[in-house]
Amino acid sequence: MSSLYRAIDEGLQAELRDAVGRQRYRLWFRDTAVAHVSESHLTLAVPTEVHRTWLSYTYGELLQDACERLLGPGTGVRLQVSATQGAKRAMRERLPTRPDAWADLLERRIPANTLDSFVAGTAGRFPALLLKQMLKGSSAENPPLVFLYGPAGSGKSHLLGGLSRSAARRSPGDALYLSARDFTDRYVSAVRARDAAALAAFRLDLSKRRIVIIDNVHELAGRASTQQELVRLSDRLAGTMTRLVLASRAHPRDLDGFSDKLRSRLLGGVVLRLALPTGEHLGEVLAARARVVGLELPEAVRAGITERTASVKGATALVDRWAAASAEVGRPLAAEWLEEIAPGAAATACEEVIRRTKDLVAQHYGIERRLLDKPTKVRSAGLPRRIAMYLVYRACALPLSELGKAFGLKSHSSASKAIREIRELRESDVDLEQTIDGLLARI
């Protein structure tokens, strides 16, 4: 499709979407496309004869009005059945539409990260080699504590997850992979049991592992009791065969809300920096993500992904969707399908989209922004929280697990439920649909 036809098509689709509403648009007009434009008429390609007949009978006048507004008075409309549009419709019907269905497809099609699948840039080569050495060498040959730090998307969780899975394949139970929240929850549960045996069992479980992995350590900021327990863990493991591997977004010196004692323990280990992949390195990362399902990433798709999001996490999540969808339909999808598999993905970092979405929703509904950060019993915040999650889902290619974390949820199923509820509500509530569209346009 030429740039002129594309502009006309986008304008017509916008006119139709406004005229019939999102639900009818998706049902009848989503699979149409401008095929030809002359001085007297516009030819619209439709996927089936049913579409051609129904659109002519039911929406003929509406189509005529939309074309005249777009191209001028007297412009006629012709509908023709297109095998290409029919094929697109058939392909679309094979792709998931619900968040939970996408999560299932990604789980089936995209293998879990491994140490070998990590594409190391200059800053990531030594961390990757060191973690591989932890698996091959004896504990005595490895440093007792390794601390990885870098911004979101630099590969920390990839490396830690790969280390955990590789250790489990060699010897189940050798490694324990916890997020900072998991570590806190386990510790707090043991303390609240008010039973010395429960706390002893918690500590023994960590001490008997060959490798203890704790991700997102920066989330322990301000948690004095949990920080003290991490200090105790570090001290208990000193001189043993258990190795401690931690990850955070910041260098230990720059962790706000941390005790001097814990910061000292962290600085006593091997501290390694990871950097965000950019340019050619990012292209290699995305290509490697596609190859895990046996596909080569077309240049047009790579360019489309990097144009849509500046977030490395968002880009890798989007290429995962592209790869999973391509594997599902049996061939690589063209770049134009990026909008279908991740509608509305923004050209800004996902973290910035999350921040801006929360600000807009809090302002629109007149509630405190903090009520959107985690589950709350404040009734007035229930619907705004679900709307904010839905908006972020529409605007970013975030995995559901990451979306849930952004709103303080412990499982992706809660995020999936929230998105499903808002999708159903907007289909029956015109005012809510207009509100959501207005907020989405401002993100």
Per residue in 165-220, pLDDT (tens digit) is 999 988 888 899 999 999 999 999 999 988 889 999 999 999 999 999 999 999 89
Q: Are 75 and 67 in contact (CB under 8 A)?
A: yes
> In the prediction, which pLDDT does 247 show?
95
| Res. 398 pLDDT band, cuts 50 70 90 | low
**Helical packing angle, 412-428 and 382-395, nearest 10°:** 100
> In the prediction, which pLDDT does 349 show?
55
Q: What are phi and psi of 290, to 5 degrees?
A: -70, -35
In this predicted structure, the answer to whether residue 412 has a pLDDT above a threshold of 80 is: no
> In the prediction, which pLDDT does 240 show?
86
Tokens at 93, concatenated: 């019907």
> In the prediction, which pLDDT does 298 show?
93
Of residues 262 and 75, the one with the higher pLDDT is 262
In this predicted structure, the answer to whether residue 288 has a pLDDT above a threshold of 70 is: yes
Strands 243-248 and 211-215: parallel
Tokens at 204, concatenated: 């023994």
The highest-confidence range among 271-275, 359-363, 364-368, by mean pLDDT, is: 271-275
Q: Are 142 and 237 in contact (CB under 8 A)?
A: no
Closest CA to 161 of 218, 109, 112: 112
In this predicted structure, the answer to whether residue 348 has a pLDDT above a threshold of 60 is: no
In this predicted structure, the answer to whether residue 161 has a pLDDT above a threshold of 90 is: yes
Per domain, the residue ranges of the chain are 3-92, 99-112+277-341, 125-273, 350-442
In this predicted structure, the answer to whether residue 367 has a pLDDT above a threshold of 60 is: yes
Of residues 427 and 362, the one with the higher pLDDT is 362
> In the prediction, which pLDDT does 211 show?
93
**Calpha distance 191→185 (Å, rounded):** 10
Most distant CA pair in the chain: distance in Å? Answer: 86
Distances (CA, A) of 305 to 133, 271, 348, 392: 34, 32, 12, 17
In this predicted structure, the answer to whether residue 1 has a pLDDT above a threshold of 80 is: no
DSSP 379: G
> In the prediction, which pLDDT does 346 show?
43
In this predicted structure, the answer to whether residue 267 has a pLDDT above a threshold of 90 is: yes
Q: Which runs of consecutive H residues, i.e. helices, occur in 292-349?
A: 299-308, 312-329, 338-341
Tell me the pLDDT tens digit for each residue of 36-53.
888 788 888 888 898 889
Averaged pLDDT of the chain: 85
In this predicted structure, the answer to whether residue 344 has a pLDDT above a threshold of 80 is: no
**Calpha distance 245→212 (Å, rounded):** 6
Angle at 17 between CA 52 and CA 82, to 5 degrees: 30
pTM of structure: 0.67
> In the prediction, which pLDDT does 248 show?
93
| Res. 138 pLDDT band, cuts 50 70 90 | low
Strands 145-149 and 76-81: unpaired
The neighbour count for residue 11, using CB atoms within 10 Å, is 16
The neighbour count for residue 153, using CB atoms within 10 Å, is 23
| Res. 23 pLDDT band, cuts 50 70 90 | confident
Tell me the pLDDT tens digit for each residue of 297-342.
999 999 888 877 767 777 888 899 999 989 888 889 888 788 777 6
In this predicted structure, the answer to whether residue 252 has a pLDDT above a threshold of 90 is: yes
> In the prediction, which pLDDT does 5 show?
74
DSSP 165: H
| Res. 8 pLDDT band, cuts 50 70 90 | confident
Which CATH superfamily hosts domain 125-273? Answer: P-loop containing nucleotide triphosphate hydrolases (3.40.50.300)
**Helical packing angle, 299-308 and 312-329, nearest 10°:** 140
Task: List, in sequence order, every residue forming a beta bridge with 149; answer none if it has no partner.
Answer: 248, 273
**Calpha distance 153→147 (Å, rounded):** 16
| Res. 422 pLDDT band, cuts 50 70 90 | confident
> In the prediction, which pLDDT does 225 show?
93
**Calpha distance 389→401 (Å, rounded):** 12
In this predicted structure, the answer to whether residue 262 has a pLDDT above a threshold of 90 is: yes
Tell me the pLDDT tens digit for each residue of 46-89.
888 988 899 898 888 888 888 888 888 888 888 999 887 887 78
Class of domain 350-442: mainly alpha
**Calpha distance 175→105 (Å, rounded):** 28
**Calpha distance 393→417 (Å, rounded):** 12
Tokens at 154, concatenated: 């630099």
Beta strands in 347-438, from DSSP E residues, in sequence order: none
Chain Cα centroid distance, residue 187: 29
> In the prediction, which pLDDT does 231 show?
95
Class of domain 3-92: alpha beta
In this predicted structure, the answer to whether residue 274 has a pLDDT above a threshold of 70 is: yes
> In the prediction, which pLDDT does 347 show?
42
End-to-end CA distance of the chain: 29
